[in-house]
Amino acid sequence: MKLRTVVLLVFLMFCTSAGYGERIKDIVDIQGIRGNPLSGVGLIVGLTGTGDTSLPSRQVLTNILRSSGQVLDVDDVTGGNIALVMVTASLGPFSREGSRIDVDVSSIGDAKSLQGGLLLSTPLRGLDDEVYAVAGGSGISLGGFGASGNQGSVSKNHQTVGRIPDGAIVERAEIADFVETVAGERYLTLNLRNIDFSTAERIKQAINAIYPESAIVLDAGTIKIKVPHEISISENVLFIDNITSLGVKVDMPAVVVVNERTGTIVVGENVGISAVAISQGSLVIKVRETANVFQPTTPFTGRATTKVVPETLIAIEEADGYLIPMPRMVTVSELANALNSLGASPTDMIAIFNALKKAGALQAKLEIM
């Protein structure tokens, strides 16, 4: 059976109506609200012969047993049923003492699988070397499975990396500080996820329409907002909810992203193509500008006038021919619809976009992954 390459052609369409927009909370991050990475080295026990056989895991187990009053040497402990793992987690910006967070466990040694194991209590430290949470427990969720017999085995995906849902208890909270106080004034900073001067300016205008002279644009990715004096400290959350629920029209740069390995093409609607005619192999594409004249001829049309309606014609042929350039700005969506109707291959599309860029006809930034 012949495998066919599947092309994913995604058009990022923006509505041009005045009332359409994205919520500010969906396109920005509030400065100061972020997670903090935690990590620690732990030991998983209870494995059925799929654990480590290396010396470090046996040394860690020996130290744990010694702290419990068992005087043992490293040579007295055999491997196979234990695994030394790196335990990582993210402490949320509003995680309080006693709350639970998910943890990830990754084998450090030569373990084959962590399935069915139990993570012993492991302190998780931040970058300041302080303990913020303690991980431990069973219920390791793996992204794969494995089974074996005397004469063969079968496995799927990685079995040495897993996650324990709610596998750590927060012992020390680090609450996010997202309202900055300077000289008695309170400030809030919004960081755009996709930096753009036009979008930043629209956010400023939308906020100032409700709270005049409270927002300023620092750069293409940062909007600083002064909390009005009439907003009390207890109403900070309400104020943030009010301004981040506003809708703004996001401006998208003209970009074409091509992944030659998968045949994926992502095209923005703002991308334009200048006057051009294209030939790719036996594939010929012609763009022509024309106009239709509508003249009323039916009765009772005494007040009607002649109307000239411009029309874009895109013709595609699979034959030899010559191309005549036409003075017309064509959108990528028009060209892509024509290519899709013909069933052009991913290779043809990628080659066409590359040629358009080289010819200076593609009015967009071309990014090849």
Q: Quick one: which of 279, 271, 280, 276 has its CA closest to 288? A: 276
pLDDT tens-digit readout, 105-153: 999 988 888 988 999 999 999 999 999 999 999 889 886 555 554 444 5
Cβ(58)–Cβ(77) below 8 Å: yes
Domains in the chain: how many in total?
3
> Does residue 248 carry a pLDDT above 80?
yes
Last residue within a domain, chosen from 116, 139, 170: 170
Q: Is residue 121 part of a domain?
A: yes
Token pair recorded at residue 19: 């009332």
Is residue 98 in some structural domain? yes
Q: Quick check: is 12 in a domain?
A: no
Domain boundary, last residue among 248, 280, 306: 248
Same domain, 242 and 270: no
Give the per-residue pLDDT at 284: 57
Which range of 20-34, 216-230, 266-280 scores highest in mean pLDDT? It is 216-230
Angstrom distance (rounded) from CA 12 to CA 268: 5
Mean pLDDT computed over 344-364: 77
Q: Examine residue 279 and state whether it is found in any structural domain, yes or no.
A: yes
Whether 363 has a pLDDT exceeding 90, the answer reads: no
Q: Do β-strands 365-368 and 255-259 pair in parallel, antiparallel, or remain unpaired?
A: parallel
Task: Measure the CA–CA gap between 135 and 284, rounded to whole angstroms.
Answer: 63
Residue 203 sits in which domain range?
Answer: 21-33+177-248
C-alpha Rg value of the chain to the nearest Å: 31
Buried b (16+ CB within 10 A) or exposed e, 334-367: ebbebbeeeebbbebbbbbbbebbeeebbebebe
Average pLDDT of the residues in 236-264: 87
In this structure, the answer to whether residues 58 and 134 fall within a common structural domain is yes
Q: What is the pLDDT of residue 191?
A: 96
Q: Which two tokens stand for residue 334?
A: 């028009």
Residues 292-318: what's their mean pLDDT?
60
How many other C-beta atoms are found inside a 10 Å radius of the C-beta of residue 325? 12
Q: What is the mean pLDDT of residues 339-351?
A: 68
Tell me what pLDDT residue 4 has: 34
Mean pLDDT on 245-267: 83
Report CA-CA distances (Å) from 315 to 76, 84, 216, 220, 338.
81, 64, 49, 41, 8
CB of 78 closer than 8 Å to CB of 152: no
What are the structure tokens assigned to 52, written together? 């480590």
Mark whether 127 and 242 lie in a shared domain. no
Q: If you average pLDDT over residues 238-244, what whole number do you get? A: 94
In a domain, 340, yes or no: yes
Question: Which residue is associated with the tokens 């399935």?
Answer: 115
182: exposed, middle or buried (Cβ count in 10 Å: 0-12, 13-18, 19+):
exposed
List CB contacts of 64: < 8 A, sequence separation 6 or more: 43, 120
Local confidence band at 164 (pLDDT 50, 70, 90 cut-offs): very high
- For residue 222, CA distances in Å to 26, 47, 179, 216, 362 come to 15, 50, 15, 9, 30
The residue among 248, 267, 299 that closes a domain is: 248
Residue 13 is assigned to a structural domain of this protein: no
Both tokens of residue 214? 């409270």
**164 and 72 co-located in one domain:** yes
pTM of the model: 0.66
356 — pLDDT class (breaks 50, 70, 90): confident
**Long-range contacts from 61-70, C-beta under 8 angstroms, 24+ separation:** 64/120
Please say if the pLDDT value at position 23 is more than 90: yes
Say which CATH number the domain at 198 has.
3.90.1150
Question: In this structure, is residue 360 part of a structural domain?
Answer: yes
Indicate the pLDDT class of residue 242, thresholds 50, 70 and 90: very high
| pLDDT tier at 87, thresholds 50, 70, 90 | very high
Same domain, 75 and 191: no
Cross-strand partners of 248? 22
pLDDT at 160 over 70: yes
Q: What is the mean pLDDT of the chain?
A: 78
CA distance 193 to 210: 23
Better-scored residue on pLDDT, 182 or 319 = 182
Q: Which residue has the higher pLDDT, 179 or 17?
A: 179
| Residue listed under structure tokens 């506003």 | 246
Amino acid identity of residue 319, one-letter, is A
